[in-house]
C-alpha cells in the first residue's frame, strides 16, 4: 500500500513539474547561486526522505550548477544521508531497523557476503542495485561493521551513480550524443562490476561448501 502511495505521490509531482516545465527550465538556465547552500541541505533531506525522486533532483542540480558543483551537491546528499541514517539506527533505533529488514527477505542473500567481507559487500551493493540502498545502510548499522569501513565503502560506492545523474542533467539540453555515451558507458561499467560481483559471490559459495 505504501509503495502505491509513494508512486502516486511521485506521479503527482512529475505531472506538476510537467505543467510548469517552462518555469523550471527558466530557473535551471539562470546563473544565480544564492540558493546553492540550501541545495546541499535539500540533497541530504531528499536522501533521507525521498518525497521527490532523487535521480530527478540530481539531474536538475547538474543542469543548473554544472557537472562539478552538481556532482558535489548530489554526492553530499547521497553520502550524508546514508551516514546520518547509519548513525541514527546504530545508536538509537536498532529494533526499528530490524523490523524494517524483516520486510526484505532478499537481504538474507546479502548476509553471507557481508560476513565474508563487509567492506566489499557494501561497496558492491552501492555500485550495483543488489540490495536497496536504505536496506544496505540499516543492515550495516545493526551489524558489527566498523563505522569507518561503512563510511569509506559508501563514499566510494556513491560516486558512479551520482556522476551519471549529474552528467546526464548537465548535458541533456546541450549534447544528446554525450548523454547517450554517458548512459552506455555507465551501463558497461555496471555490467563489468556485476560480473566481478558474481564471480566473487560464486567463489565465496564454493568456499562455504568446503
Q: What is the DSSP string of 141-176?
A: HHSS--HHHHHHHHHHHTHHHHHHHHHHHHHTTT-H
Determine, yes or no, domain membership for 18: no
- pLDDT score for 81: 94
- pLDDT score for 145: 87
Does residue 1 register a pLDDT over 50?
no
More confident residue, 179 or 5: 179
- pLDDT score for 125: 87
**Mean pLDDT in residue range 116-131:** 84
**Domain range spanning residue 183?**
38-209
Determine, yes or no, domain membership for 120: yes
Q: What distance in Å separates the CA atoms of residue 56 and residue 199, rounded to the nearest whole number?
A: 33
Does residue 158 register a pLDDT over 90?
yes
Determine, yes or no, domain membership for 205: yes
**Mean pLDDT in residue range 160-173:** 84
136-157: pLDDT as tens digits: 899 899 888 899 999 999 999 9
Determine, yes or no, domain membership for 25: no
Q: What distance in Å separates the CA atoms of residue 77 and residue 12, rounded to the nearest whole number?
A: 23
State the total domains in the chain.
1
Determine, yes or no, domain membership for 6: no
Determine, yes or no, domain membership for 83: yes
67-120: pLDDT as tens digits: 889 899 999 999 999 999 999 999 988 888 888 888 877 777 677 778 778 898
13-48: pLDDT as tens digits: 555 555 555 555 565 666 667 778 888 998 999 888
- pLDDT score for 180: 85
Closest to 67 in 3D by CA, of 177, 171, 189: 171
Determine, yes or no, domain membership for 95: yes
Determine, yes or no, domain membership for 5: no
- pLDDT score for 100: 82
Amino acid at each position: 500500500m505504501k509503495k502505491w502511495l509513494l508512486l502516486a505521490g511521485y506521479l503527482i509531482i512529475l505531472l506538476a513539474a510537467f505543467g510548469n516545465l517552462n518555469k523550471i527550465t527558466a530557473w535551471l538556465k539562470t546563473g544565480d547561486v544564492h540558493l546553492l547552500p540550501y541545495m546541499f541541505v535539500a540533497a541530504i533531506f531528499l536522501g533521507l526522505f525521498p518525497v521527490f525522486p532523487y535521480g530527478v533532483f540530481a539531474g536538475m542540480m547538474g543542469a543548473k550548477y554544472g557537472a562539478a558543483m552538481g556532482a558535489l551537491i548530489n554526492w553530499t546528499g547521497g553520502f550524508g544521508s546514508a551516514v546520518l541514517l547509519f548513525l541514527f539506527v546504530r545508536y538509537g533505533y536498532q529494533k526499528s531497523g530490524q523490523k524494517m529488514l524483516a520486510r526484505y527477505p532478499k537481504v538474507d542473500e546479502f548476509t553471507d557476503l557481508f560476513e565474508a567481507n563487509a567492506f566489499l559487500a557494501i561497496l558492491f551493493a552501492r555500485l550495483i542495485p543488489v540490495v536497496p540502498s536504505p536496506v544496505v545502510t540499516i543492515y550495516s548499522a545493526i551489524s558489527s561493521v566498523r563505522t569507518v569501513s561503512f563510511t569509506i565503502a559508501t563514499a566510494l560506492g556513491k560516486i558512479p551513480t551520482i556522476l551519471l545523474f549529474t552528467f546526464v542533467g548537465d548535458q541533456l539540453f546541450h549534447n544528446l550524443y554525450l548523454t547517450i555515451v554517458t548512459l552506455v558507458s555507465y551501463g558497461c561499467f555496471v555490467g563489468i562490476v556485476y560480473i566481478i560481483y558474481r564471480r566473487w559471490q560464486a567463489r565465496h559459495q564454493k568456499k562455504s561448501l568446503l
